[in-house]
Amino acid sequence: MRSRFFLGFGVLTLLFILSLQVLQQINMGVSTERFMINLGFGGILFFGSVISVFISVQTLYAEIENRTLIPLLTKPIGWTSVVLGKFLAMWAMLAVYVGVLGWILFGFVWWETGGQLGFGWTEFLYVLLAEWFFFGLLLAAGILFASYATSGLFAMMMLSIFWVLGHLQHMLAAVVRNEEPTVLEHILGAVQWFIPNFQVFHLSDLLTRGGVDILNVLMVLGVGSLFIGSYLLIARLFFSIREL
């Protein structure tokens, strides 16, 4: 939590949220609430993704390169505890990030709109939970890539590609609907089975367009948990056969 990188990006996100008051001067024709919610969550997503990508890979790599992981493995704890412990610690950091900044955003929007919000605090909480699970997915994928990559840079690049593909996952299925798909198109189509659809975790636009359904959110969180568990399990398998 005291990591300078994490604190620095947290402050950057906070400044971004506070700057919404100035940025709304260029808001054209939409409500203040919609503008601030969309842009605020965009900032939380962007900076949070950078934090997740960086800390998930660097935390493990720093420990492997500095050999500080080896004394830990001499203790009577298995790889499962190590992987799960690292993941939960990082996920807790992201929980603080999403929680603190999310509620600052809520308060800010509430103040700017004079308390006239089109959604309740419970719906806002559901959206924050979904975002938190999205960051959990990135963290778990980062640990997975770190488990077999031989350099931190490679793992971070893979995680960035994973981020892009996850946001386009819903379009990957469409590529194999061509009349005669090529081999590359078949591979891209197959990728959709291994990457979750990140779009379902970003529900902020529903706050200003009809509401957030708790059942849908529970399904999203359930799917997120399945993927997180799978990625961590595979990472654990790779770590157990990796030479440190």
Applying CB under 8 A, the residues found at the interface with another protein are 23, 26-30, 34-35, 38-39, 41-42, 45-46, 164, 167-168, 170-171, 174, 192-197, 199-200, 202, 204-206, 209-210, 216, 219-220, 222-223, 226-227, 230-231, 233-234, 237-238, 241
Cβ of residue 45: shortest distance to another protein, in angstroms? 6
Q: Which residue, 58 or 147, is less far from another protein as judged by CB?
A: 147
Cβ of residue 46: shortest distance to another protein, in angstroms? 8
Q: How far apart are CA 211 and CA 71, in angstroms?
A: 50
Cβ of residue 68: shortest distance to another protein, in angstroms? 26
Q: How far is CA 214 from CA 122, 129, 203, 206, 222, in A?
A: 9, 11, 11, 12, 12
Q: How far apart are CA 241 and CA 238, in angstroms?
A: 6
Q: Which residue, 43 or 58, is less far from another protein as judged by CB?
A: 43
Cβ of residue 4: shortest distance to another protein, in angstroms? 26
Q: How far is CA 209 from CA 105, 170, 239, in A?
A: 18, 21, 44
Helices (H), the chain: 4-18, 20-23, 32-65, 69-74, 79-112, 121-148, 152-167, 169-175, 183-191, 204-207, 214-241
Q: Which residue, 94 or 207, is less far from another protein as judged by CB?
A: 207
Q: Which residue, 58 or 208, is less far from another protein as judged by CB?
A: 208
The DSSP-derived string for 97-133 is: HHHHHHHHHHHHHHHHTTT--SS-HHHHHHHHHHHHH
Write out the two tokens for 159: 């995680």
Q: Which residue, 71 or 193, is less far from another protein as judged by CB?
A: 193
Write out the two tokens for 92: 């807790």
Cβ of residue 2: shortest distance to another protein, in angstroms? 30
Q: Which residue, 3 or 38, is less far from another protein as judged by CB?
A: 38
Cβ of residue 15: shortest distance to another protein, in angstroms? 16
